[in-house]
Each structure stands twice: as structure tokens, then as C-alpha cells.
Structure 1
Amino acid sequence: MSAATTWKSLAGQRLAAFVGAPSSPRPLGAFRIGVASLLLVQAWTLSGSLPELLGNRGLVPWSVNEPLASTVLPRVDVVAGALAPLGISQTAGIHGLALAYVLSLVGLLLGLRTRLSATVAWVLHTALLNSISFFAYGLETFAHISLFYCVVMPVGAAFSFDVSAGRTSSAPSAAATLSLRMLQVHLCIIYLSTGVEKMLGPIWRDGTALWDVLMQPQYGQFDFAWLASVPWMVKLATWGTLVVEVGYAVCIWPRRTRALWVLMTLGMHLGIAVMMGLWLFSAIMALFTFAAFGWNVLAESLTERVRAAAVLPFHSASAR
């Protein structure tokens, strides 16, 4: 067998192990719980504004939103129109859809008929998102992606009622590994593309982008005018953001830099939450990184500490 054939065979084996070797579904279970929890918090914060957001006499009438909405996806106005002949009012129909969405998220949170709950939540989220596209921003996009992942990935194979009831197994599986790799690769593409796009902008290259953001009333949560006297701090934070995002796809994989990049990424999103008030968006992005990479970093760290604690008494006894 030639060296080239041996190298190809070894590379193929490593690739197969990378995407298909059985692994624990616990990171996916944590992802499911986090997604459902965040979307339930969002639903609670919006619960008092449903008629204004979704009603025909709300902030954006249906006639205005219709040209912006997809014609092939469900919308609240279409559902409300279908329910009208049954004597169900517009307001009752909107609240009914919202209640069904919340119940599906509770089922997803508990891991109760997980795939069904995720599918219902994803379909209803599609209808709600298609009806308020005027107000949608990054959070809604990643929430939609997250729910789709919960539909197709074995997120109910850990920390769920489905496992307790014996409807699914919590044993390590190739499906869990493949799902985790999909999540990881997707995250790398997201951060690399957003980082490169920012680098193409002059305000990111000259280090003033965060100053422009913090000076906008809708984002600035505090008075950051004092930063004008320390411009190096703004430049450092701006360029640091670029380093985290552009370097993510490379530095998140090696063990030597993985924990550092997880911490820097979580810290970046914490800073966005505190300084810009984008708590839910920051939380869902932090959840992605924690589930994809941080869970295993934490598990490995705890395992090493347990081993060290177990070995220490043995060495102490030997020394005596």
C-alpha cells in the first residue's frame, strides 16, 4: 500500500470518526432547554402587546405587512380569516395562536414529545415571524434556526421526559455527533462571514464602529461620552470584536485555544447585552456557542478536576 493510499485511508477514518463517532446528546439537550427558555421569556415580555404587534389595527396593519411577507408561508391574518366563519374573533384567534405557541415551547422545554413540540413551535413561529417581518431582527432569525434544529436533531435524548418515559435513549449516538458538528460548522460560518463583512467597513478598520453604536440613543444604555477622552479603549474593543469573530472558525477547534475563545465569545455577547440592551439576542448567540463548544469544555474541565481530586489523597498517603 502506497503512502498516499495510507494517508487517504487515515484521513477518511478520522473524518468518519469526527462526524459519526457516538457521543453524548447532553449538549443538544442543553441547547433545547436554553432555546425554549429564551423564547418563553420573549413570549412573556410580548404577551401584553399581541394586538398591537399582530392585529389588523396594530402598529403595522395587515395591508402594510402583506407586501413584506412571504406568500408561501402562513400568516396570522390568513389564519384569523379562516377562523372568522367559526365565530372566532380576530383577538381570540391571535391569543389562541400565541397560547398554542407557548404550550409547544413548554413541551419543548420539558422534552415532552420533543419532536412534535418542536415542529409545532417552529410552524407557529414561522407564521408569527411572517406576520411581523417589519419588526424582526437577528433574534427572530436565530430563534427560527434554533427551532428548526430542535425539529431535526435528537435534542430530546437528554434531560427530557421522553428519556424518562423510555420513548428515546440517552445513550451516545452517531446522530448526536453529526448534529453537534452541524451546529459547530454553522456557527463558524456565521462568525467568519460577519467578521469579514465588518472588516470590509471603514469604521471597523479604523476602530470607531463601537463608538458610533454606543452614541445611538436606541442602543446606548449608559452615557459613554467619556470614551471620547480615551479613544484607544474604543479602538481596542472594536478590533477585539473583529479578532473574536474572524478568529472563531480557526481558534475554536484546537484544545489549547478552545476554552479561551468560548470565554471571549461569551464575554463579547455579555458586553453587547449590557451596553446595547440586546439581552435576548446576546443570550441566544451565547447559547449557540455554549451548546456547540462550551458544554464539552466545561465537562472536560470538571472531569480533570475530579481526577485531580481523586489522585491527591493517594499522593498524600504515599508521601507519608
Structure 2
Amino acid sequence: MNPIDRFLHHFDPHPAWANALRTGLCATLLVAILLLWEDFPMIYGANRFVDTPLLALKQDFPAIVLGPFTQHLALVIYAASCIAVLMGYWRRTALALLLILHQLIFTGNTLFAYGFDYLAASALYYAFLIPANPVSSWHSPLLRVVQLHLCAVYAVGGINKAFGAGWWDGTALWKAVIQPGYPGISISIMEQLPGACWVLGGWLVVVIELTYPILIWRSAARKRFLWLIMSLHAAIGLLMGLYLFSALMIALNIAAFHYPYLPLAKQCIPSILPMVKPLRAQTLSSETPAETSEADTNTPQNA
């Protein structure tokens, strides 16, 4: 058998990975849109502070221009779609609406889009393509694509950092954490750290991202490496204030490399129905006609 075919089609993940992906993704997007609710008209709406003629000079046109009414309608539909997916109602339709709105509003405005928006758009594509049938054979190749996508993200990030001298001497990490504008830990606290901490931290980030595509596939190291990569993203959220980006990456890692490899008895997604306890096999050899129950021996006799 072709190794590629075996890798793509002969992996039997538990369908709980699909619920984990949809739940983690839509919960993160719901928090993001609620945090952006008051500032949404100023950034993406009709009264935004960046004019369309100014964007035209930069040849950076938004995918859609929202009016006073449509900006509020888009907000309500976006939030309602996230809630519908979380509650398990009309998931396919809600994910389609989320995908269209996310592409038109967030990734369509490249002036304000960043890594979180593009990763969320990719995750929405995957969530939309998840088969409705929990035992469909398409779960395996789709999950493999998600896993390979994550490996590519970390590999490219690690290679780019490895070719930059700033990550080996700690300068890049120091700039990323100390620069103003990120609501993370107080700068006065971070400035007290010795230079060796920044150097070791830069090395650790590069090593983690470069080894992710290798160690994450090894069953003996997968659990420990998942904790390591989630700790890295938790640190990014705390130090740099990129809470949404960190939450999204943690959710993607859990959905792609945690739930698919758990035994069925350890799945804990609420929407997965509990297993029906199998009937006890009857062994005829251990039972004799003389071994009758008390109820059988005490049956009344007709006179």
C-alpha cells in the first residue's frame, strides 16, 4: 500500500476532534467579536477613521464597505452564527455565514488583518468541510490536512527565526515583549530580567518551532510536546497580550493532536453521546440447568 494513502486514509480518529475544533474556534471568535463590538464601526463601519480614498492611494481596497445599518447587521449575524455553532444548531449554515463574513470584513481589510484573522479563516474552512456523518471516511484526510497545516506554520516560523540573528542573541524576543502597545505584563518587571533569560528564551522559541513538525508525530513525546507548545502560547498571551491568537493556537493544537489520539472512553466533548454499555456475554459452560434463580424455584404451582 502507498505510504501516502496509508497516512491520509487509514487513520481512524475519533469524531470528537471535529467538535473540539468547532467549539474552540467559535468560542474564540465570539469573544473576539464581543471585544470589538464598540470599536467595530470606527474600524470597519461607515464612520471608520481610515477613509476609502486614502486606501485607494495605497491600492488597498476593502472587500466590502459597510453602511450604518449593515455594520450592525453584520455584527449580529457574526455573533449569532458563533452561538449557533456552539449550541449545535444549523452548524453548516452558521459556519458558511461565518466564513463569508470573516473573509469580507476581517481578512478583506488587509490594513487591519494580522495572523489571527488568517489562521481563523483557515480554521473556518476546515470546520465547514467537516463531514456531518461522524463515521465518514473523510475525517481522516481532513484531519491530516489540519495537522500538516499546523506543522507548516511552526516550521516556517522556526526557519524564519533561525535565519535571523535577533532570535539567537535575545534581541528579537526582547523587542517583542518590551515594545509598547501590548497589554501584557508590566514592562518595568520584564526590564529586570538578565540578558541570559532573553537569549535562552529566544533559543527555546526557535527550537520548539523547528522540532514541532517532528516530535508532535511521536506518540511517546506528543503529550509532553503539546503541553510545551500550549505553555509557549500561554506565555505569548500573558507577555504580549495576544490572548485571542494564543487561544486559537491552543484550540487548534488540542483539536488536531490531542482528541484524535485519545481512547474512546476518555473523550469528554459534551455533544458526543455516552457509550452504551455492552451486554455481558453469556458463557454456557459456566451455567448448568441446576443453577436456577430463586425467583424460578419459588414459582407458584397450580393445584
TM-score of the alignment, normalized to the shorter chain, above 0.5: yes
Query: Structure 2 vs 1, CA of residues 178 and 137 (structure 1 numbering), >3 Å: closer, same or farther?
Result: same
- Residues 102-125 of structure 1, C-alpha deviations (whole Å, 9 max, x = no match): 222222223322222111110111
CA distance in 2, matches of 1:131, 1:92: 19
Q: Secondary structure at the match of 2:133?
A: coil
Percent identity over the alignment?
28
Q: SS where residue 244 of structure 2 aligns? A: helix
> Relative to 1, partners in 2 of residues 1:68 and 1:256: Cα closer, same or farther, differing over 3 Å?
same
Q: What is the RMSD computed on CA atoms of the aligned residues? A: 2.1
- Report what 2:69 is aligned to: 92
Query: Aligned partners of 1:275, 1:47: CA distance in 2, in Å?
Result: 24
- Residues 46 and 68 of structure 2 are in contact (CA less than 8 Å); yes or no, is this contact kept in structure 1? no
C-alpha contact (below 8 Å) 1:36/1:108 kept by paired residues: yes
2:109 equivalent to 1:109: no
Paired amino acid for 1:133 = T
Q: 1:132 to 1:16 in 2, by over 3 A?
A: closer
The one-letter code matched in structure 2 to 1:95 is H
Gaps of 5+ in 2: 268-303
Please give the per-residue CA displacement for 1:182-223, whole angstroms capped at 9, x wherever unaligned: 100111111001100011111112233211222211235312
Asked if residue 292 in structure 1 is aligned to residue 256 in structure 2, the reply is: yes
**Given the superposition, is the C-alpha separation of residues 153 and 249 from structure 1 closer, same or farther in structure 2, using an over 3 Å criterion?**
same
1:137 aligns with 2:127: no
| CA spacing shift, 1:231–1:250, aligned 2, 3 Å | same
- Is 1:212 the counterpart of 2:175? The answer is yes
TM-score normalized by the length of structure 1: 0.76
Contact 2:162 2:206 in 1 (8 A): yes
Tell me, what secondary structure is at the counterpart of 2:39? helix
Deviations 1:53-104 (A, max 9, x none): 123432212333453136xxx41x1xx4xxxxxxxxx311210122122222
The structure where helix makes up a greater share of residues is 1
- The whole-number CA distance in structure 1 between the counterparts of 2:200 and 2:103 is 39
- Asked if 2 retains the 8 angstrom alpha-carbon contact of 1:27 and 1:295, the reply is yes
1:63 aligned partner: 53
Q: 2:263 and 2:50 mapped to 1: Cα distance? A: 47
Separation of aligned partners in 2, 1:178 and 1:91: 43
Query: What's the offset of the Cα at 1:293?
Result: 0.5
Count of paired positions: 261
Cα distance, 1:238 vs structure 2: 1.1
- 2:16–2:260 contact (8 Å) kept in structure 1: no
Q: Name the SS for the 1:48 alignment partner.
A: coil
Change (3 A) 1:299 1:244: farther
Alignment of 1:43-62 (within 5 A): 43-62=33-52
Deviation at residue 302 of structure 1 after TM alignment: 4.8
The change in CA–CA distance for 1:292 and 1:208 in structure 2 (over 3 A counts) is same
Give the alignment partner of residue 235 of structure 1, picking from 195, 199, 207. Answer: 199
State the alpha-carbon separation in 1 of the partners of residues 156 and 108 from structure 2: 28
Structure 1 residues 138-166: Cα deviation after superposition (integer angstroms, max 9, x where no partner): 11111111111112223xxxxxxxxxxxx
* 2:165 aligned to which of 190, 202, 207: 202
Alignment-mate amino acid for residue 150 of structure 2: L
Q: 2:8 aligns with which of 16, 19, 22?
A: 19
Cα 1:302–1:99 shift into 2, 3 Å = closer
Identify the residue that residue 281 of structure 2 maps to in structure 1.
Answer: none
For 1:236 and 1:300, how far apart are their aligned partners in 2?
A: 40
For residues 215 and 241 of structure 2, what CA distance do their matches in structure 1 show? 28
Gaps of 5+ in 1: 1-8, 81-89, 155-167, 304-320
8 Å CA contact 2:46, 2:71 repeated in 1: no
User: 1:56, 1:62 within 8 Å by CA — same for their partners in 2?
Assistant: no
Q: Do the aligned residues in 1 keep the contact of 2:236 with 2:246 (CA within 8 Å)?
A: yes
Answer yes or no: is 1:29 the counterpart of 2:19.
yes
**Structure 1 residue 122 corresponds to structure 2 residue 108:** no
Structure 2 distance, partners of 1:214, 1:125, is 29
TM-score by length of 2: 0.80
- Structure 2 distance, partners of 1:33, 1:138, is 20
Note the 1:149-228 alignment, pairs <5 A.
Answer: 149-154=126-131, 168-171=132-135, 173-219=136-182, 221-222=185-186, 223=188, 224-227=190-193
User: Which amino acid is the alignment partner of residue 100 of structure 1?
Assistant: I
For residue 152 of structure 2, what is the amino acid of its counterpart? I
Aligned counterpart, 2:32: 42
Q: Which has the larger radius of gyration?
A: 2
CA contact (8 A) 2:13 2:260 kept: no
